[in-house]
């Protein structure tokens, strides 16, 4: 996925499917844990920007041939990208963990 700031990330299909806006409630908890156990059965067959790039629509298909379409807010996806995506852009690197306070054990 390429973003307007010239960063590019590859996302795991399992993470994309598990974080589908359609599978979580208004409190951001899963509506059902049942979906978690079949995310590995999906492949992404298409991904396209929508609404002038403010959204990404991803088509998924599972082993039974059932197709599913999910829509992700681009800003939301970009916020998670450094933590869950693989950077493909120049100078791409993973986010470094925060350094704890010396002498506190954190």
Q: What is the pLDDT of residues 44-100, one digit of tens each?
A: 999 999 999 999 999 999 877 778 899 999 999 999 999 999 999 887 555 555 566
Burial of 6 (0-12, 13-18, 19+ CB in 10 A): exposed
Closest CA to 72 of 93, 54, 86: 54
Cα–Cα distances (Å) from 30 to 1, 37, 57, 61, 90, in that order, read 24, 12, 20, 20, 35
Element (H, E) at 42: strand 42-50
pTM score over 0.95: no
- Phi/psi of residue 48, each to 5°? -140, 145
């Amino acid at each position: 996925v390429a973003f307007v700031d010239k960063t590019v990330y590859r996302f795991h299909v399992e993470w994309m499917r598990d974080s589908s806006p359609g599978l979580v409630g208004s409190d951001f908890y899963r509506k059902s844990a049942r979906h978690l156990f079949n995310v590995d059965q999906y492949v992404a067959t298409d991904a396209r920007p929508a609404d002038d790039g403010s959204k990404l629509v991803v088509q998924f298909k599972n082993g039974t041939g059932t197709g599913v379409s999910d829509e992700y807010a681009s800003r939301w996806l970009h916020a998670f990208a450094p933590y869950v995506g693989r950077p493909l852009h120049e100078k791409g690197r993973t986010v470094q963990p925060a350094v704890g306070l010396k002498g506190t054990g954190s």
